[in-house]
Amino acid sequence: MTETTNNTVRGINHDSVSAWLDTNVEGISGPYSFSFITGGHSNLTYLVTTGDGSQVVLRRPPLGMVIATAHDMGREFRIISGINNTSVPVPIALAHCEDETVNDAPFYVMSYVAGTVLHSDEDATEFMTSMQARQALSENAIDVLANLHLANPDDIGLGELGRKEAYLDRQLRRWNGQWEKTKTRELPAMEQAYAELVAAKPEQRYTGVVHGDYRLGNILVDPSKGDVLGVLDWELCTLGDVLADLGYLLNNWVEEGEDTTRGATAFPTSIGGFFTRDQMVARYVERTGFEIANINYYRAFQNWRLAAIIEGVLARYLKGVMGDEEADTDAYIDQVEALAEEALLLLRD
């Protein structure tokens, strides 16, 4: 977290935001200090410390945002408000500001949840020293996902969040179109994977809230006990085929000693002591009662989708539209190719 002085935080109009907080967020008062927690190409997150030392969190779109719909603060606030009605641990949605004169863009405020985020194998090695805690986190992470998928969107106020049906059809069209518009070269594995994904597309049997980016890197945990304290980053959330979330989680749940070209050692679970993928699936089935016979399809789909996303980032770097940021474009190329090949392997397994 980057600490800053009270009135020099990029993305925060200190005086007007402070006045808005005093008026609109119950139970807090200034003076306020703001600290930048995280951000980048995604929404920006700030820790707000109040006059009595308590804390809340403020989220706003990236600076220089171009596409408002891609960073819809009202939608994200609504999602968190709906998830507050479930047993899924998530920060409490406190207030939403649509008036852009306050901070040059919409923003919302939610409660602060203390915890540790495991971004890498190094984080897991440092914080998850107990094998018992690793097992507990495995069970808790899959239980939280099951609870999310069992929630009825209509019952929690999210029934109109998006179309419920034909999730895979919509996703396949969207990301194939993205691939065609941004590809930097011909890549037969991507074209073949798309064709096989379309041909083998399963019927959507289980519909609910899809987080869209559910992995340990978006979960606050108590590393000493393995408890899940909060699920973060709901900006990709929608309604649809919930097994897409399970496939995505499994792709990020790398097992110890696994041979992969995707840089497996960077994944927290690669240090060992966590559930295997088979154990994760078995626990999910136990908790949901869902029948799962084709999880490799969803894993293949998520690898192919991620390849399309990364190719888009690569294209922006190659066009020089990423500002002063530098990147190892060869690494991006290798990752896209590896993901496409892995998608094909999963489809044929």
Q: Which residues contact 300 (CB under 8 A, 6 or more apart)?
A: 193, 196, 197, 247, 342, 343, 344, 346, 347
Q: Are residues 313 and 195 in the same domain?
A: yes
Taking the C-alpha atoms of residue 327 and residue 13, their distance in angstroms, rounded to an integer, is 31
Q: Are residues 41 and 140 in the same domain?
A: no
Q: Tally the domains of the chain.
A: 2
Length of the chain: 349
In order of 261, 265, 269, 307, 327, the CA distances from 122 in angstroms are 19, 9, 10, 25, 22
Taking the C-alpha atoms of residue 35 and residue 316, their distance in angstroms, rounded to an integer, is 29
- 31-81 pLDDT per residue, tens: 999 999 875 556 889 999 999 999 999 999 887 654 444 468 999 999 999
Amino acid (1-letter code) at residue 104: D
More confident residue, 198 or 63: 198
- What's the rounded mean pLDDT across residues 248-257? 94
- What's the rounded mean pLDDT across residues 227-243? 96
134 belongs to a structural domain: yes
Q: How many other C-beta atoms lie within 10 A of the C-beta of residue 326?
A: 8
135 belongs to a structural domain: yes
- With b for 16 or more beta-carbon neighbours within 10 A and e for fewer, the 252-290 pattern comes to bbbbeeeeeebebeebbbbbebbbebeebbebbbebbeb
Place 323 in a pLDDT band, splitting at 50, 70 and 90. Answer: low
pLDDT at 17: 97
Paired residues of 107 in beta bridges: 97
Q: Are residues 202 and 270 in the same domain?
A: yes
pLDDT at 67: 45
Q: Are residues 170 and 76 in the same domain?
A: no
268 belongs to a structural domain: yes
Q: What is the mean pLDDT of the chain?
A: 91
pLDDT at 2: 40
Amino acid (1-letter code) at residue 218: N
Q: What is the CATH number of the domain that holds 103?
A: 3.30.200.20
The SS3 call for residue 21 is helix
Q: Are residues 217 and 326 in the same domain?
A: yes
The SS3 call for residue 210 is strand
Q: What is the CATH number of the domain that holds 163?
A: 3.90.1200.10
Tokens representing 209 are: 């809230």
Q: Are residues 101 and 217 in the same domain?
A: no
Q: Are residues 103 and 211 in the same domain?
A: no
Q: Are residues 326 and 204 in the same domain?
A: yes
Q: Are residues 20 and 129 in the same domain?
A: no
Q: Are residues 229 and 174 in the same domain?
A: yes
48 belongs to a structural domain: yes
Out of 85, 111, 137, a domain closes at 111
Q: In which residue are the tokens 């706003």 written?
A: 60
6 belongs to a structural domain: no
Out of 111, 129, 150, a domain closes at 111
Out of 61, 89, 111, a domain closes at 111
Taking the C-alpha atoms of residue 243 and residue 127, their distance in angstroms, rounded to an integer, is 30
Q: In which residue are the tokens 């000693």 written?
A: 257
20 belongs to a structural domain: yes
Q: Are residues 220 and 266 in the same domain?
A: yes
- With b for 16 or more beta-carbon neighbours within 10 A and e for fewer, the 51-69 pattern comes to eeeeebbbbbbbeeeeeee
- What's the rounded mean pLDDT across residues 140-154? 98
Single out the residue of 45, 46, 44 nearest to residue 32, CA to CA: 46
Taking the C-alpha atoms of residue 286 and residue 122, their distance in angstroms, rounded to an integer, is 31
- Domain of 189 in residue numbering reads as 121-347
Taking the C-alpha atoms of residue 187 and residue 68, their distance in angstroms, rounded to an integer, is 32
2 belongs to a structural domain: no
Whether 264 shows a pLDDT value over 70: the answer reads no
Taking the C-alpha atoms of residue 331 and residue 304, their distance in angstroms, rounded to an integer, is 17
Quote the Cα angle for 185-260-252, to 5°.
Answer: 95
- 81-133 pLDDT per residue, tens: 999 999 999 999 999 999 999 999 999 999 999 999 999 999 999 999 999 99
Q: Are residues 185 and 231 in the same domain?
A: yes
pLDDT at 5: 42
Q: Is the dihedral of CA 329, 312, 185, 335 positive or negative?
A: positive
Place 8 in a pLDDT band, splitting at 50, 70 and 90. Answer: confident
More confident residue, 284 or 349: 284
Q: Which of 41-45, 248-252, 319-323 has the lowest mean pLDDT?
A: 319-323
Range 66-74 contact pairs with CB under 8 angstroms and sequence separation of 24 or more? 71/43, 71/235, 72/235, 73/43, 73/98, 73/105, 73/106, 73/107, 73/108, 74/98, 74/106, 74/108
Tokens representing 119 are: 């971004």
The answer to whether the CB of 280 falls within 8 A of the CB of 254 is no
pTM of the model: 0.91
8 belongs to a structural domain: no
- 150-185 pLDDT per residue, tens: 999 999 999 999 999 999 999 999 999 999 999 999
Place 265 in a pLDDT band, splitting at 50, 70 and 90. Answer: low
Place 319 in a pLDDT band, splitting at 50, 70 and 90. Answer: confident
Taking the C-alpha atoms of residue 17 and residue 110, their distance in angstroms, rounded to an integer, is 14
